[in-house]
Amino acid sequence: MAQLKGWREIPIGGVILEAGNAVEYKTGGWRAFRPVFGQAQCIHCFQCWLFCPDSSILVDAENEKMVGFDLDHCKGCGICASVCPVNAKVIRQAGEKVNRDDPRLCIRMVEEGKAP
Amino acid sequence: MSKYEALTGDQAVATAMRQINPDVVAAYPITPQTETVEFFAEYVANGEVTTDFICVESEHSAMSACVGASAAGARVMTATSANGLALMWEVVYIAASLRCPIVMSLVNRALSGPINIHCDHSDVMGMRDSGWIILFSENGQEAYDNIIQAVRIAEHPDVLLPVAVCQDGFITSHAMERVEVYDDADVKAFVGTYRPKWSILDVDNPKTYGPLDFYDYYYEHKRQQVEAMEHARRVILEVADEFNRKFRRNYGLFEAYRLDDADVAVVVTNSTAGTAKVVVDGLRAQGLKVGLLKPRVFRPFPAKELAQALRHLKAVAVMDRSIAFGSMNNAGPLFLELTAALAIHGVHIPVADYIFGLGGRDIKPSEVESVYRDMLRVAETGRVERLVTYLSVRE
């Protein structure tokens, strides 16, 4: 963690003088739930990227692929799982082990040759 | 050239606002400050000012609009009273915390209930710890002068805090008195041009106002507010000094009236100080050594200076126009703060509190005289028989 500044060193009134520095605030620590990604059946529609309120969907822009989550900033709201049209994501209690037998986790269904 | 006009206290404030010509005024009329907003709305309609006058739907919105405009870098003014101030409550603190140099005319009036629209100081005493600078005014002239000085105090780079300028509801807000109105150009020159530290509208240098501020930095920002209040002690006197020289006045932290050689004194703010001066003159004519101390600056509280000014007395009465319910002996806020100041600064003289005038109850010269007579007795015996008296309440 960066050294916290004293009251003489910071702008008055809580004003933030630089733009675009929300990324420096790691809100991932607030997370009680964690998204889990089923890569195989993701159709890369970017619905999750569009809806994520914390810009925490990591994408490979060049290849137009969804590649994972920025867990430093994801607050675990579950909107990504909710909007996923192929159920490629589930939301789990943080720390809870992913149960690969969960019928909602489509990676297992794909492995079994079923439609996600 | 200045000229003398017959103005109500509200008109005097509106006149100062016209001369200051702030960028933005957002206000919601509430008795007894309504007149100020009405007069100012006329100035806007007549093109006598270039102010953006924002009609809002409530006082909460009025203060919110003021904060937004101030963050945009505007010179902002508003006016309110009593329950209007109470409705602003949340944003009153935010204005101070975001360091918005807003100037507010606060016409003091009782907080309901039961419902009352008349003068007392329960409204302003509710905001005493909100982080605003608070000035009191005996009459329309002082309200006019304080509003002009408030702009300079609030906007000083070492301060950047909002200022509330108080006067007594109806007693001075609606009473017509002689007010010396200075030349428009002189007032404009005195207040100068506001150069905001930052503006949220500066799109080339984007900034965030009012972000989340948790346990890691909130405390540091409060500490900064303390520093600004400490700077205000100096700035208030610097601004007063310049004002006094330019407009031939005599403003300071407080006014001492026939206090130097007095044995006993009354400490009272706003219009009642005027009544007390008449009583002092009457008692002085009888050879009684009585004086008056009228605080002008209540926030920041000039504890050391007040203690020094009262040190030589044999007895002091504070007159409070509000009650701090449940406080020590259910005394008034001014008494509580002043007695603490006296104790801390080693002034051990008999003190008593007199609550008076709640809900606009008239305070008569004979009643103020009774306080002086009580104190003259206390000065003789050295003993206060009753710490808090509810003056003229019917048993």
- Helix axis angle for B82-97 and B218-247, nearest 10°, is 110
- Delineate the domains of chain A, giving CATH numbers in brackets: 12-111 (3.30.70.20)
Helices (H) and strands (E) in chain A, counts: 3, 4
Distance of residue A71 Cα from the nearest chain B Cα, in angstroms: 21
Chain B residues 210-269 within an 8 A CB cutoff of chain A = 210-211, 213, 216-218, 220-221, 223-224, 227-228
Chain B residues 179-198 within an 8 A CB cutoff of chain A = 197-198
Q: Is the pTM of this model over 0.95?
A: no
Closest CA to B79 of B143, B138, B128, B142: B143
- Phi and psi torsions of B92, nearest 5°: -60, -45
* Number of Cβ atoms within 10 Å of the Cβ of B176: 14
Cβ–Cβ under 8 Å, residues A66 and A21: no
Question: What six digits make up the tokens of B308?
Answer: 């020094």
- Delineate the domains of chain B, giving CATH numbers in brackets: 3-247 (3.40.50.970), 254-390 (3.40.50.920)
Interface predicted TM-score (ipTM) of this complex, two decimals: 0.89
- Helix axis angle for B9-20 and B184-191, nearest 10°, is 70
Q: Cα–chain-centroid distance for residue B1?
A: 28
Of B160, B197, B221, B231, which to mutate for an interface test with A (greatest number of A Cβ within 10 Å)? B221
- Phi and psi torsions of B198, nearest 5°: -140, 165
Cβ–Cβ under 8 Å, residues B236 and B252: no
Cβ–Cβ under 8 Å, residues B335 and B268: no
Chain B residues 87-106 within an 8 A CB cutoff of chain A = 97-100
Distance CA B247, CA B41 (A): 27
- How does pLDDT run along chain B (395 residues), one tens digit per residue? 899 999 999 999 999 999 999 999 999 999 999 999 999 999 999 999 999 999 999 999 999 999 999 999 999 999 999 999 999 999 999 999 999 999 999 999 999 999 999 999 999 999 999 999 999 999 999 999 999 999 999 999 999 999 999 999 999 999 999 999 999 999 999 999 999 999 999 999 999 999 989 999 999 999 999 999 999 999 999 999 999 999 999 999 999 999 999 999 999 999 999 999 999 999 999 999 999 999 999 999 999 999 999 999 999 999 999 999 999 999 999 999 999 999 999 999 999 999 999 999 999 999 999 999 999 999 999 999 999 999 999 99
Q: Which residues contact B96 (CB under 8 A, 6 or more apart)?
A: B130, B131, B132, B161, B162, B225
Closest CA to B344 of B310, B367, B297, B378: B310
